[in-house]
Structure formats: C-alpha cells, structure tokens
A and B are shown apart, each in its own frame.
Chain A
Amino acid sequence: MSGPGAVDVAMTTPGGAWLVAALAWPVIAILLMIAGGGRHAARIALASMPVGVAVAGAIAIRVLPEGEALVYLVGGWAPPLGIALRADALSAVMMLTTAIVICGAGLYAYADFGPKSGKPETRVSLVFWTLLIAVWGAMNLIVTGHDLFNLYVALELLTFAAVPLVSLDGRAATLSAALRYLMFALLGSVLYLLGAVLLYGAYGTLDITLLAARVQPEPAAWVAAALMTAGLLAKTALFPLHLWLPPAHAGAPPAASAVLSALVVKGSFFLVIRLWFEVMPALWSFSATQLIAALGAAAILYGSVLALRQERLKLLIAYSTVAQIGYLFLMFPLAFDPATAQLQGGVALTGGLLQTVSHAFAKAGMFMAAGLIATALGHDRVADLAGVARALPISVFAFGLAGLSLVGLPPSGGFVAKWLLLSAAVSTGQWWWAAVLVIGGLLTGGYVMLVLIRAMSAAAAPIVPLKPVARSREGVALAMSLCAVLLGLLALGPIELPAFAVTTP
C-alpha cells in the first residue's frame, strides 16, 4: 500500500454501516415485493421509501457538515484485497436528490400503477415498483462504490432497472426505444469495463484511492481513461451519443420519464466526475477538457434548437434533457488549473453539481406536469395546448417554475449553477464558454415560453379534462419544481455552500 491516501481508506469509520443499510434496504424491499406480488408491490414500495429517505438523511447528516467521508470495508478486508464503500459530500448530495425524486415519482405513480379496487393485479404494476426501487438501489451503489469494477456492476444494475421502465406499455415503438437504449448502454458499459481492465493490468488495483496514488500520465492510463469516458458518455447521452435518449425518455410513462431524465443519466455522469476529478485528475490536458466541453456546448445548442422544433411536449422535454446534459460538461475546462495541470474542485465543480441536482428536480417536475397535461387532454401536441392553463393551473405553474430553473433565472437552483459556471468562465478567461451559457439560456427561454404562451392562450371552448386529474398529483409535480427553485434560495441564503472540493490523496 502506498500513498498517504491509503490510510484514509483502510478503516471503517464510525457510522460506516449506514452505507450497508443504503444498499441493503432496496434489495430487501424488492424481495418483499416479488413475494407479495403485484397487489402489494405499491404498498411495499411506498412503505419502504421512508426507510430510504431516513438512511440517505442519516448519511447526509454525518457527511455534509464536516465534509468527512464515511467509509465501510466490506467484510473487514482493506483494499486492494477487499472492496471499500465510501460516501463523501458529492455522494450525500446525490443520495438525497435520488431519495426525494424517487419518493415524488412513487407518490405520483400511485394513481397509475397502484392497486385498483375490484380489478385483478397486473404484472406491469409489480414491474414498475420493483424497478423504481431498483433504480434507487443502483444509484446508491453508484454514489458509494469505491472500486471501479464494483461501479461497473452498479452501472449495469442501473441499466437493467432503467431499460424496462422505458417499455412498460409494451407498444412496438417504446420497445424499439428500449432496445436502442439498451444497445447504447451495453456498448458504453463494455467500453468502461475494458478501461477498468486496462487500469488493473497497469496498476494492479481497482480501488479509487489506491489508483489515484498510482496512476501516471502514460499511454495505458490515457487509453483506459479515453475508453471509460467514451463509455460513460454514451450512457449519459452526451451529444453526439444522445440518439437513444429522446424516444426512450418521451415514450416512457411520466413517472418513469421523470426518474430516467432526472436520475439515471446522472448516474453515469457521476462516474465521469469520479474518474476525472478523483482517479486521474492529473491526466487531463487543456485540450482534452476543451474537447469534452465542446461536445457539451454542441449538445446545448443542438438539443435546445431541436426542443424548439418539437411538436410533442414530451419530446420537447426530452430534447431539453439533451441540452441540459451539455451544461454538466462545461465544468471540466473551468475546473482545470493550468498552473498545476490538474482538475481541481471548487467553484466550477460546485456549479456542475448544482446543475445536476437542480436539473434533476426541474426535469422531474416538468415530466410529471406534462404527464398530467397529456392525461387531461388525451394528447400532448404543443400546438393544441390552448386553454390548459385554465383547466390545470397547478400543472402549468409547475411546468413554468421548472422552466425558470432550466433557463437559469433567479432565484432558482439553475440560476446559481449557471452563475457559478459563468463566473468560473470569466475568472479563468474562457469567455467562449460564457457565450455558450448565455446563448443556451436564451434558447431554453425560447422553448419554455413557447409552451407557456400556448398553454396560457385562451381556448375556443373551455377544456373539459378527459380524465379527472387529482390535485395531489399536481401537487407532487409542483413540489419537484419548487425544490429546483428553492435550491437556489438555499444556496444564496445564509447557509454557505459546502466546498465540494474532492479529496484527492
């Protein structure tokens, strides 16, 4: 064992057992659901959700104030022989986001997939609830895993949970979308695996802390890093590997779309952060960070323009996801410190993380609102939305609030995120990324306003909802959007932003 960081990992910290709890409860809940069948799946899932929130909260309380990571050594074996679980501030924030979004999706989906009195149990409801909890469990493993192979398994778990969510309705179109998604995801994870294999061959360990101490800037590490990054980008749907995302996210049921867009793409993005900032921060050059951000900029422009041209509301939101993912990659050149030729956590990383979280809430709120609008109208054609604001004021308000955060207007979380990225761009003298941020914001404003103007214009005849829309479901969508907006107040308020400086040994 070498490097000062080895000491840091080689011990289970007090409270480390919470990490095991975070991984164990979803498995227990899923087993109970399979035993209980479709009739009880919804109740078991909803009953297990407070447990998940409590575990995420317990980990956050231990990690966030002090910034000290929780570590658990599985079986008491220290790396490189054993596998470590580790939760730092980044993990805790992602865990909380996952908990809130999935709970929201669960409450929202109860009307669609909950037990219906007098009707036989359905397979689709069992599948939906088990997969929903499986996504949560896989996200928990992704944010706490500290071993690259362990993380590969976590990535695959996330894929296996996410792909069937796309095709829950079983139509040929959504099945094709799911298969295309699976093909991209499989290629992505197999490239990631190849990179991990090469790293093991070169450095003899897969533990993140040990690897960080051993990785040298040399061909083996470069090839491995390129392969792993490419694989993860395919799963994150960064332009030009985004082709699978719009049909998959637009075709899924609204609650599933919310989870897929808000969380699942962030899982692989989280690993990009881990890889670039923690495993090999010294491996990147100025041009490499510029290249990845150029892809992000292309995603912002392409995704926003295509969102403007969509005729269907759900596809518009899906293309907006393509664009918003682009913002996440702008942080890499802004976090690059030319003096030390290293990626460093700081303003840019905090901005990127805030963008991740605020987009998660905003997009969840948006998809849920769009789902309710589609339920009431029987269609989601953007051109025929007139009068919806009168029929479903809360849903349209939720959509608008989420749009506020996506555009980056104060006081939303999206505003603070983009403000931090903008100030990092200015302070590092990279004005071109600032220009991309501003143009992206304008285009986003364009497609959000396009929907809002149509929705608020007067209809020829008042809209009578085809199906009644429960106030509680509108409330869930609104709560998600409010989270995105309030995140900005939280960050601007007296609470200081925790410095998400990634601890590198």
Chain B
Amino acid sequence: MNTATLFGLCGAILIGLGLYGALTHPQPLRKLIAFNLLGSGIFLVFGAIARRGAWGTVGGDPVPQALVITAIVVAFAATAMAVALLERILKEGGQTTLDPDAPAGVITERRDR
C-alpha cells in the first residue's frame, strides 16, 4: 500500500464517521463538528488524488490543491455562519436544540457562567 492509498483510506474513514455523526446526533453543535469531520475527510481524499497525479519532479497535481484551499474557505464560512446562528438561537430561545420538546442540553446549563 503506498502513501496516497493510505491517506485516501483515512479520508474515507473520516467521511464515514462524519456522515454518521451528522445524521445521528440531534444536537446542532455536534452535527456541525461532524460536518467539519466529513469535510476534512473529503479534503484528505482530494489530497490523495492530487498526490496520485505526481509526475517527474512535480510532487502532485496542483489543481486539487487549489480547489481544496477554496473548499476549506467555504467550509470555514459555513461553520462560522452556523455557529453565529446557534449563538443567536441560544440568546433568543435559551436552548441550542432544534427539537422543541427536547430537555435543555448541557450547553444551556452553562449559560449562567
């Protein structure tokens, strides 16, 4: 197994973990972290694809690297937006869950600090 395959498989595991977390966790903050894990997995797979395109003295295909940087910026912006929304929800409604019937979560209790 060469390095690119190893990294590709690591990326696949991260994608699986992230997808599982994003689908199963009810807490938005956990969903968000899972989403970031999923994104990182995709970036890693893309990096492995870039490495596979290496030839001669060039260490890797430069196109995926350029795209990954853009994708990281987009994922960062998305995360920032979700966190901002979450913070506003905590301020307005006093809880951070999307389920109106759910008991107040851990984060809600920390509000008094």
A306 to B77, CA, bound (A): 35
- In the complex, whether B101 has a CB less than 8 A from a CB of chain A is no
Q: Interface readout for A197-208 with B: 1 if CB under 8 Å, 0 if not? A: 110110010000
Are B74 and A153 in contact (CB-based, < 8 A)?
A: yes
B70 touches A175 (CB 8 A): no
| Complex: A192 Cα to B109 Cα, angstroms | 37
| Nearest CB of chain B from residue A134's CB, rounded to whole Å | 13
Is the pair B98, A180 in contact by a Cβ cutoff of 8 Å?
Answer: yes
Known: A153-B70, A163-B81, A187-B22. A176 touches B35 (CB 8 A): no
Chain A proximity mask over B2-42: 1 for CB below 8 Å, otherwise 0:
00000000000001000000100000100110010011001
Sorting the interface of chain B by its residue count into under 10, 10 to 19, 20 to 34 or 35 or more gives: 20 to 34
Q: Which of A165-173, A293-301, A318-326, A439-447 contacts B (4 or more CB under 8 A)?
A: A165-173
| Contact of A331 with B by CB under 8 A | no
Contact between B15 and A149, CB atoms less than 8 A apart: no
- Is the Cβ of B74 less than 8 Å from the Cβ of A183? no
C-alpha spacing A182/B80, complex, angstroms: 12
Asked if residues A197 and B93 are in contact (CB atoms below 8 Å), the reply is no
Interface majority SS (helix, strand, loop, mixed), chain A: helix
Q: A187-B35, A197-B45 are in contact. Are A175 and B92 (CB under 8 A)?
A: yes
Q: Which residues on B sit within 8 Å (CB–CB) of A149?
A: 67, 70
Determine the distance from Cα of A183 to Cα of B86 in the docked complex, in whole angstroms. 11
Tell me whether A193 and B42 are in contact (CB under 8 A).
Answer: yes
Q: How far is the CB of B87 from chain A (nearest CB, A)?
A: 10
Is A170 in contact with B88, judged by CB distance below 8 angstroms? yes
Most buried by B among A153, A182, A204: A182
- Which A residues are in CB contact (< 8 Å) with B98? 176, 179-180, 183
New contact pairs (6) apart from A159-B78, A187-B38, A197-B42, CB-CB < 8 Å: A183-B31, A186-B82, A194-B42, A198-B45, A200-B63, A200-B64
Could you pull out 20 A-B pairs where Cβ atoms are within 8 angstroms?
A149-B70, A153-B74, A160-B81, A170-B92, A176-B98, A179-B82, A179-B89, A183-B28, A186-B35, A187-B35, A187-B38, A190-B39, A190-B75, A193-B39, A194-B42, A194-B45, A200-B63, A200-B64, A201-B49, A204-B53
| Interface residues in chain B, defined as those with a beta carbon under 8 Å from any beta carbon in chain A | 15, 22, 28, 31-32, 35, 38-39, 42, 45-46, 49, 52-53, 63-64, 67, 70-71, 74-75, 77-78, 81-82, 85-86, 88-89, 92-93, 98
